[in-house]
């Protein structure tokens, strides 16, 4: 059974983990366990001291050891004597902020209820006409009901269970059954309390052109926090946190992940308390969030995706990869080959003609590229980033004809066609700005903050969302695009919307994201055959919420192969290769000036949704041949890269190389790729230990750098995992390498 409810003890099991809650003698719902499987009542292992200055709930009488300031709780709230950070804060009509939630009931569900207006992790039977009869399935979800002792406020914790992936999701719903309005000031779908354990915390920080750099640090007493107040999940911090025991590494040890399925501002906190206990809270950013809940209304938070691994960080990542690949990415894109594309951005920037685009497409077609993507600059009078966002009329002068005509020409070459758009933005120099200045996010009587000379449209206003839907519905209807790159090129500030009264302005951030999801939902429902790639100045909105609508996301505007090793390494902790947009660009690289070989750039771009972003005409014949070879190789390997288990084999921050591998589910095919950063003279041959092989089977090294081995060598899986694979010597810096191994048939 995936959910066991025995009296007041609720245990949710996945294949290798248990998550447990217990309503104690006062009905307070304790969080008693998250970790390896257990069949015990883990509350038996809790004992608390009398801690001065930590008060007790009233009904605990004189028991001074009973304080919510020290107990491990399933949903910590503010105002009941717990001074640690809370997952739920509610303001009552009298201005007080207190909740005293007690357990009511837990109801197992055989089918998860989809979240309304929000992306969610779906289960296999979702959307099926005739799901399996209830009795045939173990519960797929459980709703846990809590109620305030004093006000008629109910809280439902909605859990769903992904047994094979070792994932549990949680979303928090608040129902206001009182006769007055209440205000939610803070809501966090993830809150995990640990009574024991000495942890490091891992998070992913960065900036534009430098996203998701992994950082692992000791926990200190008190609060450590990450977050975004930019109205987007952000380049600067990703909405995911990992707790790892001190001795945990890629292959060993316990690790817990929490990933928020949300694309707006967020806050992630970790607190080590006075008793050395640890609390993790991840949810909406309370600095930018508030929700007024009228009598009879309910509010549901986004989902948090929780996972536990007892086998190190790599396994934790693989669990997230499997979940995202099968339960976040929409079904129609899961098994589909993703087209190998060429994008004209770094080849031309804004400066292109109709013939330039056709010539890029023609050259690309010759080497095996499958889709031409027309980036920024095809609309309005946009010949630089100074103008025209919002004016989505085709610049027929620049394209020397209609967009439809260009698309037909590209289709005529037997290639797909993709188009760049940035729907949420408006340039100051645009017709839309002049016609609808009230649609721009800004504060009246103050100068708005400019960023890339553009403003953000107020998607908290449903009228703006309707307008954008109509605009893009018409555009896609008359122009048969196969793919859309959906960009978002600035952070939001000057928060104010005329669509809400003064007292409700703090709802705006969330309403903006609901507007965005509504727009994405309507457009993807209307055009289900169009593949969307998310983008926000590269990877500024790389999150599980966006992945529900855009199965791939442009990972970074930094296309330098060396830099990408680090960016993609960090990204891989939560997100699978199938979601990571990664292209071969020109040298010297436009972001760093670094020169790397075409082979190296190709290898790095293969660990994602690959493509090109350069003028192929500038390549010589040998390079064109090599590029064609890379295309062929990628098409051949994409099923393994997307469908296999990914392993991070080295730590680029600590070693002079970055290697990763993809192992097929039957462990028969193994693709090892990576980059050796700096060549040093007279060095002994380096080896890297592989992972995920069958130790007792022999593996043949079939090819090195795409070339079949003349005298293939064979090793036992155990040797390759324990002693390692011998790497080819390198010459020069940043050498990409690739090895392919196949299991010997019996
Ligand atoms: C962003 C994207 C780039 C490109 C430009 C166009 O920076 O990340 O890939 O599309 O916008 O303006």
The pLDDT tens digits for 291-307 are: 999 999 999 999 999 99
Q: Are 426 and 454 in contact (CB under 8 A)?
A: yes
Instruction: Give dist(CA 5, CA 284) in Å, integer.
Output: 30
Residues 214 and 569 sit within 8 Å (Cβ to Cβ): yes
Rounded to an integer, what distance in angstroms lies between the CA atom of residue 265 and that of residue 289? 9
Distance between Cα 717 and ligand 1 center (Å): 43
Return the residue whose CA atom lies nearest to atom 6 of ligand 1: 376
Confidence (pLDDT) at 135: 54
What CA–CA distance (Å, rounded) separates 188 from 170?
10
For 559, which DSSP code?
-
Q: Is the four-CA dihedral 38, 44, 49, 53 of positive or negative sign?
A: positive
Cα 378 to ligand 1 centroid, rounded to whole Å = 13
**Residue 15: HSE in the Cβ half-sphere, 13 Å Cα cutoff:** 9
CA dist., res. 75 & res. 86, Å (int): 8
Q: Judging by DSSP bridges, how do beta strands 735-743 and 698-704 pair with one another? A: antiparallel
Three-state secondary structure call for residue 318: helix
Please say whether the beta carbons of 192 and 259 come within 8 A: no
Q: Show the tokens assigned to 457.
A: 């449209």
Confidence of residue 137 (pLDDT cuts 50, 70, 90): confident
**Is the C-beta atom of 613 inside 6 A of ligand 1?**
no
CB 8 within 8 A of CB 25: no
Between the CA of 519 and the centroid of ligand 1 the distance, in Å, is 21
- How much is the pLDDT for 125? 59
Q: Is 375 touching ligand 1 by the criterion CB < 6 Å? A: yes
Omega before 481 cis (within 30°)? no
Map residue 563 onto helix, strand or coil: helix
Radius of gyration over every alpha carbon of the chain, rounded to an integer in angstroms: 27
Q: Quote the CA–CA distance of 105 and 147 in Å, as a whole number.
A: 10
**Mean pLDDT over each residue of the chain, to the nearest integer:** 96
Mutate which of 557, 560, 567 for ligand 1 pocket (most atoms within 8 A of beta carbon): 557
Taking only the tens place, the pLDDT of each residue in 329-361 is 999 999 889 999 999 999 999 999 999 999 999
Q: Tell me how far the alpha carbon of residue 220 lies from the centroid of ligand 1, in angstroms.
A: 39
The whole model's pTM is what? 0.98
pLDDT confidence bin for 108, thresholds 50/70/90: very high
Distance CA 5, CA 13 (A): 11
CA 613 to ligand 1 center in whole angstroms? 11
CA of 523 to the centre of ligand 1 (A): 21
Q: In the chain, pLDDT over 70 holds for what percent of residues?
A: 98
Largest CA distance in the chain: 85
Q: What is the pLDDT of residue 669?
A: 98
Residue 146 pLDDT > 50: yes
| Ramachandran bin of 61, using left for φ above 0, alpha for ψ from -120 to 50, beta for the remaining angles | left
Instruction: Pick the residue whose CA is nearest to atom 7 on ligand 1.
Output: 537
Nearest protein Cα to ligand 1, atom 1 = 537
CA 369 – ligand 1 centroid, Å: 21
Question: How many CB atoms sit inside 10 A of residue 616's CB?
Answer: 22
| Sign of the torsion angle spanned by Cα atoms 363, 368, 371, 374 | negative
Residue 251 pLDDT more than 50?
yes
Please list, in sequence order, all residues whose beta carbon lies within 8 angstroms of the beta carbon of residue 596, skipping any fewer than 6 positions away: 560, 561, 562, 587, 589, 734, 736
**Does ligand 1 have an atom closer than 6 angstroms to the CB of 56?**
no
Query: Which residue from 209, 345, 532 has its CB within 8 A of the most atoms of ligand 1, so it is best to mutate?
Result: 345
Q: Could you tell me if the CB of 376 is within 6 A of ligand 1?
A: yes
C-alpha distances in Å from residue 71, one per residue of 79, 88, 670: 15, 16, 47
Instruction: Report the distance separating Cα 577 and Cα 594, nearest Å.
Output: 24
Query: CA geometry: angle at 599 spanning 598 and 605, to 5°?
Result: 90
- The number of the ligand 1 atom at minimal distance from the alpha carbon of 375 is 10
Residue 465 class from Cβ within 10 Å (0-12 exposed, 13-18 middle, 19+ buried)?
Answer: buried
Indicate if ligand 1 lies below 6 Å from the C-beta of 557.
yes
The residue among 235, 300, 226, 310 whose CA lies nearest residue 270 is 226
CB 579 within 8 A of CB 321: no
Does residue 127 register a pLDDT over 50?
no
CA 715 from chain centre, in angstroms, equals 37
Per residue in 597-651, pLDDT tens? Answer: 999 999 999 999 999 999 999 999 999 999 999 999 999 999 999 999 999 999 9
Q: What b-and-e string marks burial along 46-57, b requiring 16 or more CB atoms within 10 Å of the CB? A: eebeeeeebbbb
Q: Is 554 in the pocket of ligand 1 (CB under 6 A)?
A: yes
Query: CA 182, CA 444: separation in Å to the nearest integer?
Result: 28
The answer, yes or no, to whether any atom of ligand 1 lies below 6 A from the CB of 14, is no
What is the Å distance from ligand 1's center to 333 Cα?
24
3-state SS, residue 524:
helix
Cβ(575) to ligand 1 under 6 A?
A: no
pLDDT in tens, 208-228: 999 999 999 999 999 999 999
Beta partners for residue 192, in sequence order: 280
- What is the structure's pLDDT at 130? 46
Task: Report which of 13, 9, 17 is spatially closest to residue 1, judged by C-alpha positions.
Answer: 13
State whether the beta carbon of 538 lies less than 6 angstroms from ligand 1: yes
- Decide the pairing of beta strands 687-688 and 725-726: antiparallel
Integer Cα distance of 20 and 2 in angstroms: 12
According to the model, what pLDDT value does residue 335 have?
82
Q: Which of 350, 378, 535, 612 to mutate to test the pocket of ligand 1 (most atoms within 8 A of CB)?
A: 535
Q: Which residue, 613, 615, 661, is CA-closest to 641?
A: 661
Ligand 1 pocket test: which of 346, 375, 388, 586 has the largest number of ligand atoms within 8 Å of its C-beta? 375
User: What's the rounded mean pLDDT across residues 501-526?
Assistant: 98
In angstroms, what is the span from residue 259 Cα to ligand 1's centroid?
26
Residue of minimum CA distance from atom 11 in ligand 1: 537
Per-residue buried b or exposed e for 213-238, using 16+ beta carbons within 10 Å of the residue's own CB: bbeeeebeeeebebbbbbbbbbbbbb
Number of H helices, E strands in the chain: 14, 40
Distance 538 CA to ligand 1 centre (A): 7
Active-site residues, by number, are 543, 623
Looking at the CA of residue 485, tell me the nearest atom of ligand 1.
Answer: 10
Cα 417–421–423 angle (5° rounding)? 145
CA distance 427 to 435: 12
Q: Are 649 and 659 in contact (CB under 8 A)?
A: yes
Torsion of CA 372, 373, 379, 382, to 10 degrees: -110
Which ligand 1 atom minimizes the distance to the CA of 420? 10
pLDDT of 129 over the 50 cut: no
Token pair 């196949």 is found at: 742
Residue 542: CB within 6 Å of ligand 1? Answer: no
Nearest C-alpha neighbor of 141 from the set 119, 116, 169, 183:
169
Q: What local confidence, expressed as pLDDT, does residue 124 receive?
A: 79
The mean per-residue pLDDT over the stretch 591-601 comes to 98
Element (H, E) at 358: helix 354-367
Kindly report the protein residue whose alpha carbon is nearest to atom 8 of ligand 1. 537
Among all chains, which residue has been given the structure tokens 């309507």?
A: 522
Q: Assess whether the C-beta atom of 535 lies below 6 angstroms from ligand 1.
A: yes
Q: Which atom of ligand 1 is nearest to the CA of 554?
A: 8
What is the Cα–Cα distance from 242 to 32, expressed in whole angstroms? 19
Whether 420 is in the pocket of ligand 1, judged by its Cβ within 6 Å, is yes
Does pLDDT of 131 surpass 60? no
d(CA 284, CA 512): 13
Counting ligand 1 atoms within 8 A of each CB, the residue from 209, 487, 490 with the most, and so the one to mutate, is 487
- Reported as type and span, the H/E element at residue 571 is helix 561-571
Expressed in angstroms and rounded, the spacing between residue 420 Cα and the centre of ligand 1 is 9
Assess whether the C-beta atom of 193 lies below 6 angstroms from ligand 1: no
Backbone angles phi, psi at 475, to 5 degrees: -65, -45
Phi–psi pair at 366, nearest 5 degrees = -60, -35
């Amino acid at each position: 059974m995936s959910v066991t409810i025995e009296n007041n003890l609720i245990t949710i099991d996945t294949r290798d983990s248990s998550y447990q809650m217990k309503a104690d003698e006062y009905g307070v719902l304790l969080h008693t366990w998250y970790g390896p499987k257990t069949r015990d009542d883990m509350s038996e292992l809790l004992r608390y001291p009398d801690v001065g200055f930590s008060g007790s709930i009233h009904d605990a009488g004189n028991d001074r050891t009973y304080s919510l300031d020290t107990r491990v709780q399933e949903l910590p709230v503010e105002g009941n004597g717990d001074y640690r950070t809370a997952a739920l804060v509610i303001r009552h009509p009298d201005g007080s902020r207190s909740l005293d939630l007690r357990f009511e009931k837990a109801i197992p569900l055989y089918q998860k209820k989809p979240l309304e207006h929000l992306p969610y992790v779906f289960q296999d039977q979702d959307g099926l006409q005739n799901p399996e009869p209830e009795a045939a399935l173990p519960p797929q979800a459980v709703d846990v009901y809590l109620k305030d002792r004093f006000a008629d406020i109910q809280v439902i914790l909605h859990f769903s269970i992904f047994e094979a992936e070792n994932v549990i999701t949680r979303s928090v719903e608040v129902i206001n059954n009182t006769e007055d309005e209440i205000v939610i000031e803070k809501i966090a779908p993830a809150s995990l309390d640990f009574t024991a354990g000495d942890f490091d915390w891992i998070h992913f920080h960065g900036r534009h052109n430098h996203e998701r750099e992994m950082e692992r640090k000791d926990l200190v007493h008190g609060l450590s926090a990450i977050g975004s107040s930019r109205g987007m999940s952000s380049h600067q911090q990703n909405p995911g946190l990992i707790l790892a025991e001190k001795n945990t590494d890629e292959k060993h040890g316990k690790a817990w992940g929490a990933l928020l399925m949300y694309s707006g501002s967020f806050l992630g906190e970790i607190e080590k308390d006075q008793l050395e206990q640890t609390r993790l809270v991840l949810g909406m950013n309370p600095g930018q969030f508030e929700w007024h809940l009228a009598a009879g209304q309910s509010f549901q938070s986004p989902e948090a995706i929780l996972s536990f691994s007892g086998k190190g960080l790599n396994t934790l990542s693989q669990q997230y990869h499997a979940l995202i690949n099968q339960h976040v990415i929409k079904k129609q894109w899961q098994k589909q080959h993703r087209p190998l594309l060429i994008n004209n951005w770094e080849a031309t920037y804004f400066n292109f003609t109709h013939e330039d685009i056709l010539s890029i497409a023609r050259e690309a077609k010759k080497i095996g590229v499958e889709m031409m993507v027309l980036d920024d600059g095809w609309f309005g009078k946009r010949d630089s980033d100074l103008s025209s966002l919002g004016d989505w009329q085709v610049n027929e002068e620049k394209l020397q004809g209609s967009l439809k005509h260009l698309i037909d020409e590209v289709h005529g070459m037997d290639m797909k066609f993709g188009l760049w758009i940035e729907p949420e933005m408006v340039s100051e120099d645009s017709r839309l700005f002049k016609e609808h200045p009230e649609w721009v996010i800004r504060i009246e009587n103050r100068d708005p903050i400019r960023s890339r000379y553009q403003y953000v449209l107020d998607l908290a206003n449903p009228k703006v969302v309707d307008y954008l839907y109509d605009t893009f519905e018409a555009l896609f209807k008359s122009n048969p695009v196969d793919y859309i790159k959906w960009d978002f090129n600035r952070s939001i500030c000057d928060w104010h919307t005329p669509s809400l009264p003064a007292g409700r302005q703090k709802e705006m951030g969330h309403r903006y994201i609901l507007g965005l999801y509504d727009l994405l939902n309507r457009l993807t429902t209307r055009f289900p055959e169009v593949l969307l790639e998310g983008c926000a100045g590269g990877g500024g909105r790389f999150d599980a919420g966006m992945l529900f609508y855009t199965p791939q996301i442009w990972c970074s505007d930094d296309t330098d192969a060396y830099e990408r090793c680090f960016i993609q390494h960090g990204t891989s902790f939560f997100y699978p290769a199938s979601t990571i947009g990664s292209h071969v660009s020109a040298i010297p690289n436009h972001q760093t000036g670094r020169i790397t070989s075409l082979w190296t750039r190709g290898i790095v771009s293969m660990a994602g949704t690959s493509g090109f972003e350069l003028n192929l005409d500038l390549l010589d014949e040998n390079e064109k041949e090599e590029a064609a070879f890379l295309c062929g190789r990628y098409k051949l390997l994409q099923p393994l890269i997307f469908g296999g288990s990914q392993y991070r084999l080295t730590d680029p921050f600590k070693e002079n190389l970055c290697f990763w591998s993809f192992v097929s589910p039957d462990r028969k095919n193994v693709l090892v790729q990576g980059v050796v950063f700096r060549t040093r003279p007279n060095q002994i041959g380096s080896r890297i230990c592989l992972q995920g092989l069958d130790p007792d089977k022999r593996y043949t090294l079939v090819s090195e750098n795409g070339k079949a081995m003349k005298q293939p060598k064979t090793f036992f899986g155990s040797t390759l995992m324990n002693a390692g694979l011998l790497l080819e010597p390198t010459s020069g810096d940043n050498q990409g390498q690739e090895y392919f191994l196949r299991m010997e048939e019996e």
